[in-house]
């Protein structure tokens, strides 16, 4: 079976694809989530395992996902149905597309709540709330936000509206073009903040925390979280990258483009850690504080540095933008599916899906206040949602993608699409996608479900 022409046009170049995919990849996952789960898992060993997973598992799966998207040239569900039929005569692999729709909606429901925190903090920084503040003051500010369902609801609503308005009008491209300028700016600002971190007197301590490999700090749960984070951060395992791959020009190299996206994404995460931990230690904060870490740390830095109000406001604003472009990747698979199958207008479909996600978001909001004591499996509802999506659903769809690309799809199809040549690079990819990635992801999913320990007993 040969290659297909794209149904709805394609990216003007591979650079356009790289920008769109980086827009989806760089978001709250890099700047909010990466440092706080690194902190929860004791630093260096977690970072090392994370980097290993990005390289050996997430990257090959990402290549597979782009490859399936480009070969299918349709939205993830239809692409997977078509390829499944082509390769097996049956349509059952479309389940991968369905899982993506579900996972994207669940993730966005809490992602939007944190996006809301970011808007709140951008405005607070502008109004000078954090000028000259100290650790106790910042803690109070954050506690007040977490305790107020109304304030969180307001900003969650605003964030969802931003997402829905862009997607309903189908003007994502506009936002992605803006990102061409905003992303480098975010990068520069991160470097400025790293510069500030160097002046705290705790820079080396921060670096050591991030890069000293101390295996005793790492638990089995930590390994699980590192895998989940690699998928979450690169936006793989839920169809977003597959959808973007559908528009990738024929002559663009899949290996090269995905490698650039992964490199940028990982650099942003690492820089965030390098700037954040020195500030954490300089102010006597606990790196293992949890989801509030970013919001407890940055305001301190902005409160102390010169022109901190401007830098701070700009930083949080850019973070809102980064989160916004990621949220589009999260909602798009569900919207595309509804449009194509119920013949709904794009705007109607977006409002319906957006409404459902907004409602689901209430669970996360309340888990920080009124439902604080509801803790199934010893975790808050918010943490459960994150655990279930990042550590179970994403690796599980990743597993299915790897099995499909490595075992179900015939060798000829993947060689033709990947164009890695017949040499070592293709063999390396094939080895990773057939053996290393599926086995690792299966182990991780089993452990997440608490089954691995049972088997080992
Ligand atoms: N990768 C995004 C982030 O790190 C989150 C995301 C996941 C976006 C999946 C789209 C799809 O913030």
Q: What is the pLDDT of residue 122?
A: 95
Rounded CA-CA distance 452/429 in Å is 27
Strand, helix or coil at 5? coil
Q: Which of 76, 183, 231, 233 to mutate to test the pocket of ligand 1 (most atoms within 8 A of CB)?
A: 233
Model pLDDT, residue 17: 84
DSSP secondary structure letter of residue 129: T
Ligand 1 centroid from CA 326, angstroms? 5
Q: Is pLDDT at 30 greater than 70 in this prediction?
A: yes
In 10 A of CB 434, how many CB atoms? Answer: 16
- Give the C-alpha separation, 182 to 177, whole Å: 9
Protein residue closest via CA to atom 11 of ligand 1: 235
Greatest alpha-carbon span in the chain: 66
Instruction: Find out whether the beta carbon of 101 lies less than 6 Å from any atom of ligand 1.
Output: no
pLDDT digits (tens, 9 = 90+) for 3-23: 676 655 566 677 888 888 898
Cβ 325 under 6 angstroms from ligand 1: no
By three-state DSSP, how is residue 11 classified? coil
Task: Give me the percent of the chain exceeding a pLDDT of 90.
Answer: 64
Kindly report, residue by residue over 342-361, the tens digit of the pLDDT. 788 989 999 999 999 999 99
- The model carries a pTM of 0.93
Between the CA of 202 and the centroid of ligand 1 the distance, in Å, is 31
Whole-Å CA distances, 60 to 29, 65, 231, 333, 439 = 20, 9, 11, 22, 14
């Amino acid at each position: 079976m040969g290659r297909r022409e794209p149904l709805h046009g394609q990216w003007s170049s591979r650079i356009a694809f790289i920008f769109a995919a980086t827009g989806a990849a760089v978001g709250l996952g890099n700047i909010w989530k990466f440092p706080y789960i690194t902190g929860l898992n004791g630093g260096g060993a977690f970072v090392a395992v994370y980097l290993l997973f990005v390289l050996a598992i997430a990257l090959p799966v990402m290549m597979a996902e782009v490859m399936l998207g480009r070969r299918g040239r349709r939205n993830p569900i239809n692409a997977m149905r078509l390829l499944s039929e082509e390769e097996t005569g049956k349509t059952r692999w479309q389940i991968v597309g369905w899982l993506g729709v579900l996972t994207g909606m669940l993730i966005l429901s809490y992602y939007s709540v944190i996006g809301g925190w970011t808007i709140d903090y951008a405005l607070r920084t502008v109004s000078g709330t954090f000028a000259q503040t100290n650790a106790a003051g910042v803690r109070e500010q954050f506690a007040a936000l977490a305790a107020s369902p109304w304030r969180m609801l307001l900003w969650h609503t605003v964030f969802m509206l931003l997402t829905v308005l862009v997607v309903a009008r189908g003007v994502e491209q506009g936002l992605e073009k803006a990102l061409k300028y905003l992303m480098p700016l975010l990068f520069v600002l991160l470097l400025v903040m790293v510069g500030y971190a160097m002046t705290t007197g705790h820079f080396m301590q921060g670096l050591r925390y991030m890069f000293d490999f101390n295996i005793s700090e790492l638990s089995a749960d930590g390994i699980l979280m590192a895998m989940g984070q690699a998928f979450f951060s690169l936006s793989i395992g839920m169809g977003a990258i597959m959808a973007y791959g559908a528009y990738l020009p024929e002559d663009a190299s899949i290996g090269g483009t995905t490698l650039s996206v992964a490199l940028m994404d990982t650099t942003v995460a690492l820089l965030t850690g390098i700037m954040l931990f020195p500030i954490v230690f300089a102010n006597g904060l606990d790196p293992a504080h949890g989801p509030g870490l970013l919001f407890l740390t940055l305001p301190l830095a902005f409160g102390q540095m010169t022109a901190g109000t401007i830098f701070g406001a700009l930083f949080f604003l850019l973070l809102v933008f980064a989160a916004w472009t990621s949220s589009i990747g999260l909602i798009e698979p569900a919207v595309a599916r509804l449009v194509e199958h119920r013949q709904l207008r794009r705007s109607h479909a977006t409002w319906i899906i957006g409404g459902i996600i907004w409602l689901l978001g209430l669970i996360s909001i309340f888990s920080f206040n009124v439902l604080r004591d509801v803790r199934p499996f010893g975790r808050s509802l918010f943490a459960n949602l994150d655990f279930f999506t990042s550590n179970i659903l994403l690796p599980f769809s990743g597993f299915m993608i790897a099995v499909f690309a490595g075992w179900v799809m015939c060798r000829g199809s993947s060689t033709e699409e990947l164009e890695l040549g017949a040499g070592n690079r293709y063999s390396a990819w094939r080895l990773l996608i057939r053996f290393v990635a599926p086995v690792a992801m299966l182990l991780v999913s089993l452990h997440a479900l608490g089954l691995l320990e049972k088997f080992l007993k």
